[in-house]
Amino acid sequence: MPATVADNADKALVFGGTGRLGAPIVQLLVDGGYAVTVFVRPTSDRARLEGLDVDYVVGDLLDGESVSAAISGQPFRYVIDASAKDRSQENFYDVAMGNILAALAESKVQQFILHGSVGAGDNIENFPDVPFGSMQQTLRDKGVAEDMLRASGMNYTIIRNGRILRDGTPATGTARLTEDDTVLASITRPDLAALTMQCLNNASCLNQTFHAVDDSL
């Protein structure tokens, strides 16, 4: 499934775009000709995006007013959420999703791609032998965020990952998406970024929840 190429009107908004997964996604968006806006906190380190032709809007995902002020009314066609919480934050994912969806309520978003986790929400029941431990509350919050997106009326794509290999691990080029929600597999961040691009503006990915798989790992 090849990645799509943008036309001049394709504006993409990325949350978590300065992070370890978000930055490779932003790079591929820019390479694909998308007009990219990255939502950042005032304190975000933008080093991973240095030299890329992107716009920035500033706010805090846990502050609904700042999210609305940054993105309301802008003509984003695609939204990608690769955000991740600080360890000290609680209820990050559901609160952030609520603020994002409220700010985008009047926007004509054609697709919202959310990067989530295997085990989110009820999916954890498929893995009774996996020691999720302290991750369980985070996975519950992520499940709530997924449900909020599904109920929003926007076309969505949810890509869940299991084990992400350490930074610097090169892409294999063999990763794929499956609708089998009993799969927990390893994957690299560059391959997750590539899978994101394969689903962007792809009708076969709309309103689907996938697990990312790489049979070579």
Residues 115-144, mean pLDDT to the nearest whole number: 96
Residues 185-207, mean pLDDT to the nearest whole number: 98
Residue 6 has pLDDT above 80, yes or no: no
Residues 65-72, mean pLDDT to the nearest whole number: 96
Residue carrying structure tokens 């996996």? 130
For the whole model, what pTM was predicted? 0.95
SS3 191: helix
Tokens standing for residue 159: 């890509």
Number of neighbours of residue 110 by Cβ within 10 angstroms? 15
**Helix (H) or strand (E) segment spanning residue 212:** strand 208-214
Tens of pLDDT, residues 137-194: 999 999 999 999 999 999 999 999 999 999 999 999 999 999 999 999 999 999 999 9
| CA atoms of 107 and 105, how far apart (whole Å) | 6
Asked if 72 contacts 64 with a C-beta cutoff of 8 angstroms, the reply is no
Q: Which residue has the higher pLDDT, 88 or 57?
A: 57
Most distant CA atoms of the chain, gap in Å? 48
Structural domain boundaries in the chain? 11-214
Tell me the percentage of the chain whose pLDDT exceeds 70.
95
| Domain 11-214, CATH homologous superfamily name and number | NAD(P)-binding Rossmann-like Domain (3.40.50.720)
Q: Which residue has the higher pLDDT, 8 or 34?
A: 34
Asked if 97 contacts 148 with a C-beta cutoff of 8 angstroms, the reply is yes
DSSP 10: -
Between strands 175-178 and 111-117, the pairing is: unpaired
| CA atoms of 37 and 70, how far apart (whole Å) | 11
Dump the DSSP string for 106-172. TS--SEEEEEEETTTGGGGGG-TTS--GGGHHHHHHHHHHHHHHHHTSS-EEEEEESEEPPTTPPP-
State the average pLDDT for the chain: 94
| CA atoms of 193 and 144, how far apart (whole Å) | 24
Residues 118-140, mean pLDDT to the nearest whole number: 96
pLDDT of residue 11: 96
Tokens standing for residue 49: 């995006």
Give the confidence band of 8 by pLDDT, cuts at 50, 70, 90. Answer: very low
Give the confidence band of 83 by pLDDT, cuts at 50, 70, 90. Answer: very high
